[in-house]
Amino acid sequence: MTCKANSAVLPKWQESDANACVVDYCKNLMDTARKESCGKCVLCREGTWQVYEIIKDITEGNGQSEDFELLLEILEQMDKNAKCEMSRTAASICIDLMKAHEEEWDKHIRRKRCSNLVCKGTYTVYVDPQLCDGCGKCLESCPHGAIAGKAGMIHVINPNMCSKSMICMSVCPKGAIKKAGAVKPKLPSEPVPVGSFDQPSAGQEGETMMRRRRRR
């Protein structure tokens, strides 16, 4: 029986999308391929599943140093020997994007970083204390009770309870909910009255600059 899976179902990589992440795209590509696989060809059935699981681990900040080579090994097998056109196409797209964006893959695997803060394991979600007006909309929207606060207080997200659903970001009228990567901003540890949390003063910023200059 001929496999009916068709590469037309695969998501397209948008090279021009400056906010996209190539690793996240490849995860979604393989997720689609494994779900569409008819399952008759082992390379397609097992290969798409294995590649998806490895890339998913990478996006969650659990990449291993050998993952890049391992992925290429599996994908090259799929590209050459999988029976269906969809599986070969998915493998070929993934190989090309790994080779073209090797530095970004390395950043994800070794440094657990994502340039555009797309991959869940590479960022935390926080409330910008300078923008929050204490309206409480985020607190009501959070499905995990990860946000603390009340009217007129700067709200605070507990990173240990946050699933990164980003629902709060979509409801905040002030654009106060943001993602932080390697550089973590200074934040209150618990809700404080709106307007009471200071930014570093000009003098403090000057001191920081001085310290940076001395270290050169």
Instruction: Tell me which residues touch ligand SF4 (CB under 6 A).
Output: 125, 127, 132-138, 141-142, 144, 146-147, 149, 155, 157, 162-168, 172, 174, 176-177
Smallest gap from residue 176 Cβ to ligand SF4 (A) = 4
Name the residue type at position 108: H
Residue closer to ligand SF4 by CB (options 91, 147) is 147
Residue closer to ligand SF4 by CB (options 3, 177) is 177
Torsions phi, psi of 75, nearest 5?
-65, -35
CA distance 141 to 137: 6
Smallest gap from residue 147 Cβ to ligand SF4 (A) = 5
Residue closer to ligand SF4 by CB (options 71, 146) is 146
Pinpoint the alpha helices (H) of 15-148.
Answer: 22-36, 42-59, 67-81, 85-100, 102-111, 137-141
Residue closer to ligand SF4 by CB (options 50, 165) is 165
Smallest gap from residue 123 Cβ to ligand SF4 (A) = 10
Residue closer to ligand SF4 by CB (options 95, 187) is 187
Could you give the 3-state DSSP secondary structure of residue 59? helix
Neighbours of 95 (CB within 10 A): 17
Q: Residue 83: left (phi > 0), alpha (psi -120 to 50), or beta?
A: alpha
Smallest gap from residue 185 Cβ to ligand SF4 (A) = 14
DSSP state of 177: E
CA distance 23 to 56: 9
Smallest gap from residue 199 Cβ to ligand SF4 (A) = 16
